[in-house]
Amino acid sequence: MKFGVIVFPGSNCDRDVAWVTQGLLDRPTRMVWHEETDISDLDVVIIPGGFSYGDYLRCGAIARFSPVMKATVEHAKLGKPVLGICNGFQVLTEAGLLPGALTRNAKLNFICDRIFLKVENHHTLWTSAYQKAEIIKLPIAHGEGRYYADNDTLAELEDRSQIIFRYCSTTGEINDSSNPNGSLNNIAGICNPQGNVLGMMPHPERASDPMLGNTDGIKLFESLLIAAVNCVTK
């Protein structure tokens, strides 16, 4: 399995992701410049966090028009995995690969913290290494991470089990006090109906290296490897 990590002007978590895929998991990884158009050699595309194009206009609004995103849309249409983390999640919604939008945090402040999440769907290629309703702890760092969608979209996400992660308390309660940014339904991460495109505001790559004292995030990447092995053995 070969990973590609997209690099926009303003990306600042690209090397963090590459350290996980190449440094920790020993998988071939290529840094993909935003002007590239051919990503056919890649199995997985990851859009990392940061401030693509300086977050001018709106977070992810300019990045969606980059050549590499056109290629990423086609990659996703083929059923190949695409992961957007933080700014990457914003880019995925702007590109139409995921529904809804990421808006200013409820209190209009930038949040840098470690928060708890509940794994709401562990039957995906992104979450099979987690247990049902597992509570994990991941870092967040964003000013525009409040997930918003209309009522019909929210109902579809709920009905189709597309909500993958929710903000929760240390014991798993889903409530306002455990919601750091005001996201509707405490949504921290969603996937598309096919399950191959995942967007999430928390940073799993920042909780993967044992040297950092938390490895809750590594299971997300390991889930992909498990899915690849299962696909080969079928």
What positions carry a catalytic annotation? 86, 203, 205
> Cα Rg for the chain, rounded, in angstroms?
16
Q: CA 176, CA 52: separation in Å to the nearest integer?
A: 30
Under 8 Å between Cβ of 49 and 5? no
Q: CA 12, CA 194: separation in Å to the nearest integer?
A: 29
Burial label, 17 (beta-carbon count in 10 A; 0-12, 13-18, 19+): buried
Q: Is 220 helix (H, G, I), strand (E, B) or coil?
A: helix
Closest CA to 130 of 141, 138, 121: 121
CA dihedral 32, 208, 167, 158 (to 10 degrees): 60
Name the residue with tokens 């044992």: 210
187-191: strand order across its sheet: 29-33, 3-7, 44-47, 82-85, 197-200, 187-191, 163-168, 111-119, 135-142
Q: Is 155 helix (H, G, I), strand (E, B) or coil?
A: helix
